[in-house]
Structure 1
Amino acid sequence: MRATTTPALFTRPRNVAASVAAAALALTLVPGSASAQQADTEPVDVRLKVADAAPVEVATTPQAWPGELLEAYGVSVDGNDLVDVVRDGDEVSGERKRLRQGDVVRLTDVVKERKTKRERVRRGTVEVFTTELKPGVRKVVREGRPGTRVVVARKTFHNGEPVKYRVIKRKLVKDPRPRRVLVGREAYAVAGANGLNWGALANCESGGNPDAVNPAGYYGLYQFDLGTWRSVGGSGLPTSASAGEQTYRAKLLYKQRGRSPWPTCGRLL
């Protein structure tokens, strides 16, 4: 919403009441106004509420559009502003917005501002478990650094008060680098799988023999096939690895797939 220069009846919202009062006396003299064109038409009284100024009683031609009323009083409306007509406590729309006795014309000054700001992106932490440190000991090997993100947003104000904030675009302009921490653990420990009965599973699958070979292509304590063994980081044949490593790889497989790799013996875990 902005004030026109001709006629200069409105300047800023805080001067609305005085301007409307002055304009009401001159309305019938404004060239091109609805009152001048239809002087023999009985006017209707409406309340005009512009932005945050106090409402003012004015007269206008019956069935005039609210925009015509605002123009007659020197107030132009831009594409963002809201013009509402309230009748008997309810907002009306369409053809019903043509003015009647007792209507309230309410103009909301809408301003949309584009804001750009830079945000800090957390670096995060990556934990790497190792047997080279004592269990529970932590060692930072890289501090890392935060990243940066540019955020573009639109902030909307109604009569100077913020009512909406909407992010339009986010763009990462500097990648974060995570902090890297070594965490000591027991050899072949896998969180969430250490308390299971791996001995019972091994006895069921292979009779507890780390060198067991099934002619169908299954090896070791837990009867890995070669594809599954390699999927959990194993190399060579499972029977070439120690019993401890075989159990460790079995724990990793359990973390991935639960008991399903051992459809018969998995119930013993």
Structure 2
Amino acid sequence: MLHPTIRRAVTGAAVASLAGTLLLAAPGAAQGEAPSETGPSPAGSESQIDGATDALEPAPRGTRIRLRVRNQDVRGLRTTRTWARKVLVDEGVRFDDNDLVRVRRDGNLVRGSEKRKLRAGDAVQLVAVDRVVKKRRTMIERPTRTRTVSRLRAGQRKVVAKGRPGVRTTTIVKTRHNRSVVDVERTRQVTRSAKPRKVLVGADPHSVPGTAHLNWRALANCESGGNPRAVNPAGYHGLYQFDSGTWRSVGGSGVASRASAGEQTYRAKLLYKQRGRSPWPHCGRYL
């Protein structure tokens, strides 16, 4: 392509040469006569001018923009396209719907429909977007459930179901722009539920459900000073001062002061299950 200054010089020279040819070909030119202003043009003069003009290269067409594909260097080009994606197609650049096509104008990101109207000086950038997915599995410890039964010896344990641990899956998704991580998303999901380990435990023959948390020692100290053989002249016996009728109502035989301390506590617990603290109106608050 010729530089505009050279092209003008070539055109001027061609016109001057053509004008000299016309003067020589005009009648009376040798005698110094001026050529007729209204006379017909010499044959072939217009075709010579057209040929000289056609020999010049046409002016460049299209809009001058800048293009950067992924992490490659920026390069300039001319395009007649008005939509950035069409420019990439013309340049043979491969991309998919996950990739980002950005247009910057005067340093600012162009959004919306304005991206379809490229202007001179715009910068078109293709950002390759991909996602890397990793999964990590961790074990969930199996719980243990115990149940007290009377058919086993006191304290004896028997596993009736082994159970199994559960599995928790953590999915990590990394979003990358041109292979650089820009976002990390983590999600956790239980993919297998844990099943409990079931254990049977032999019950203490003197245990009563719902009474183990109570302070029986404090009650005994208040009622009898902690003496299992204590006898009150009014007819109350043992650690918890049972009268004979109450003692028999909870399965006791004889009088409470002649039973073991363990049996007295067991019968007191049975009484509590029936009537709460009411049998010990003064000392029941220590339970």
TM-score range with shorter-chain normalisation?
0.3 to 0.5
Q: Larger RCO: Structure 1 or Structure 2 (Cα < 8 Å, ≥ 6 residues apart)?
A: 1
- Structure number with bigger Rg: 2
